[in-house]
Every structure is written in structure tokens, then in C-alpha cells.
Amino acid sequence: MSQQDHTLDPSLASWVASANDASTDFPIQNLPYGRIRRKGSGEPWRIGVAIGDQVLDLRLALDAMPWSDTLRPAARELASGDLNAFMARPMADRVAMRAALSHALRAGSGHQRALAGCMVLQSDIEHDVPCRIGDYTDFYTGIHHATTVGKLFRPDSPLMPNYKWVPIGYHGRASSIGVSGQQFRRPKGQTKAADAAEPSFGPSKRLDYELELAVFVGRPNELGEPVDMARAEDHVFGLALFNDWSARDIQAWEYQPLGPFLAKNFASTVSPWIVTMEALAPFRRPFERPAGDPQPLPYLDSPANRSTGAIDVTLEVLLHTQAMRDAGLPPHRLSQSSFLDAYWTVAQLIAHHTVNGCNLQAGDLLGTGTLSGPTAAGAGSLLELTQGGKVPITLPNGQTRTFLEDGDTIILRGWCERAGARRIGFGECAGTVLAPR
């Protein structure tokens, strides 16, 4: 598990002036990684590090910094755009790279003159997904989401009997994951109305978002070798924001008996920056189950997980309709929740995913599932906010929504803050619904 070190000192300042703004998502204490290039350039993708309103282009920095013999191979991987190779490195290498970048970017650094020419404004870059995502598993860790949705279908017993014993998940489609700014067509599929004798085919009428976090796997494990709780977070590179779009009407018809399929695989959107586990170290919290709930089985338990297994991330969802954009109105916040409400921790997801011998690989993405809070103000989907489409929400401009309409943009934001630590953020994860083909 990542420990706090000098790179997290809240008094650290950077020679990149915008990184010292208290409101920035990307102070020197953060240093997240993403895959970038200059807009419209057609340049090869390379890895960049966000700092304030700028990005350190590691392709340019490869020759501008005097890398140590130990770090130069890792710097070459990042310069070539191969974040997966870097993610697969031992944690010690990642910690050493973070220390080197922190030293180079801090105020008074002797590297300022050399690196000044390696900086690019974030407004001048375009993003790809931050790494190659080979496999994608979506979990169901949001107990408030599971309970609220379960009540719509099973009022007397909203949670399945296994929910509090086993981290529930399904294998998703990695090929349709796109980076923030993704635009996708409204999906089509089979649906069946409750009063219909037969299903029909057409565009989804109950399109929804899901507020999630993405857990990116770093160091892989060999096939047949489970990762125990004591080592689980050594295999995690970091977190990003994640929107697992859902066609609720398609899902309702196809869900049984094998689970999500066309209702989920048409699009998912991830934010462009991976915030490393090292940067998240100040925001760890104890993990404990509510009184009366079963304790995790031994393979899902450890002293470290109990003491610091939870991560304090505040999350919010905003909606920007086409009419709001046309009128120059800002996005409207729909909800705010916290990762602290998740029923399972990052370490537990890794341990459970591998306990049967499954081999995770660098770049694999584990979705947390919808992260809702205990009240309606923290609902992580429209399915919850509108009580299954029965209670429309009214927006400030008078528009109403039960589910998403064409032209709607959903924006996810996330940040961590506490006394005695520098606030860090995840940037934005935005996606827009287009009309069906």
C-alpha cells in the first residue's frame, strides 16, 4: 500500500505558477499520467504529466532531463507513449519516477530552464484513453445504488443474498471505452414493454449514465497465482473517473440469466488522467462494515484494509443539455456522492478477481459500479433520481428529464481534500449522446 512521502508535502510549490492555485486539480502533489499530443498535429501519442493548466510532455523531457541509469528505461517507455509498460513496473520504479518528476517541477528546481520548453497548455492538447485497456470488469460496490435500484424491482428484499458476501462483477467490453469528450450514438436493441406480448426493436428510450471510478491495474499477476490482500494494492496503478452508460430498457429485457450485454457495451467513458495510488495516500480512511453486517471472509480481509482501505474521493455529476449550451447556461449539478460509501475496497476487488487464478494485466480496468450516496442528493444515475422514470427532474431552464435525450452531455468530476493535505482532482469525464443511426 502506498505510503506518504516528501512528494505529498502540502507546502511544496511548483515553478509552474498555475499549479499553485488552490483550486487546481493538478498541483505538484498530484502529477497524474495521461496519453497526449498537440491538437491536430498527428504526432505520435506520448505520455504527459498534468501540472496546473499545463502538461509536461515526456517525449520532449526525455532528452531535456538528466535521467538516472535506473529511470532512463522507464522514461523511454513514457516518451514512446507506452504507459502500460511503465504501469507493469514494480512499485519502487513508479515511486522513484514520481520523486524525480516532483523534484524537477518544484519551485527552485535546477531543471526549470530545460523543462520550460517541454510544457504544453492543456487547452492545446488532445487525449487518447490513457493506456491500452485489454480487459474490463465492472463491479457493483455501491450499496446505496444496489439498494435503491433493488427496491424498484424487489421492494421487500432489494439486495441479493450474496451482495454482502462477495464483490459482484461482470466482464465488460473494452473496445468501446473512449476518453473524455467521447460522443456516441444512442444504442438500439430489443426491449419489451410490460403490457406487450412480444419484444420490439428500436432506439433505447431509457438511456442512463452511471457515476463510477476506474481502477487501473499496474503490475500483472501470473495465471493461476492469486493476489492476496497484503499485496493487492501493489498491483494497482491508480484511479480515474468512469461513466458506464446504460440502456435501461434493453438491460431489463436481456439481463436474465447471464447479465449485461448490449445494454452496456455500446460506450463507456473514462477521464484522461490516471491519478496514482501514491498521490491518493493522504486521503486514505479506515474501512469498516456497518454494525450487524457480516465481516468479509478471511481472503477479503487484512489489517491494512481495515485501517486505511477506503479512499476519500468526492464525486459529482452534471448535466449540460443542448438547449442549455445554446442559451449559454452552465451545466447543472445533478448529484454529489463519495467513494467512502462503497461496500468493497480497491484491494478487495483485486483479491477477489484473482482468487480463482485469473491473471490481470497492466492496463486492465476495473469499474467500481455506480457510486451513490445514502440520499437522493447522492444518486449516481437517473434510474435512481427519477425512481425508475416515474418522477421527472426539472432543470433550472425548465426542461425535464426522466432519462437522457439526444444532445445531452454528462460531466463527471472528482476530487480529494482534507485538512493538512493539498487538494487534488481528477479533471473531467464528459460524454455526449448523439441521435441513433
Please state the domain extents for the chain.
6-128, 136-434
Residue in this structure with the C-alpha cell 504527459, named with its chain if needed: 48
Domain 6-128: CATH class, spelled out: mainly beta
Place of cell 439498494: 147
| Mean pLDDT score of the chain | 96
Given a cut of 90, whether residue 250 has pLDDT beyond it is: yes
- Whether the per-residue pLDDT at 385 is higher than 80: the answer is yes
pLDDT at 227: 98
* Of 145, 320, 352, 353, catalytic: 145
User: Does the annotation list 136 as a binding residue?
Assistant: no
Active site residue 145: yes
- Cα 284 to Cα 78, 186, 230, 304, 346: the distances in Å are 28, 38, 16, 11, 11
d(CA 232, CA 114): 38
- Is 337 annotated to bind a ligand? Reply is no
According to the annotation, is 212 in a ligand binding site?
Answer: yes
Is residue 157 annotated as involved in ligand binding? no
Q: Is 432 annotated as a binding residue?
A: no
**pLDDT beyond 70 at 1:** no
Give the pLDDT score at 153: 81
What is the pTM assigned to this prediction? 0.97
Q: How far apart are CA 412 and CA 415, in angstroms?
A: 11
106 assigned binding-site residue: no
Q: Which positions ≥6 away from 361 have C-beta within 8 Å?
A: 134, 135, 217, 220
Q: Does domain 136-434 have CATH number 3.40.50.11900?
A: no
> β-strands 365-367, 332-338: how paired?
unpaired
pLDDT at 137 over 70: yes
For range 82-103, the mean pLDDT? 97
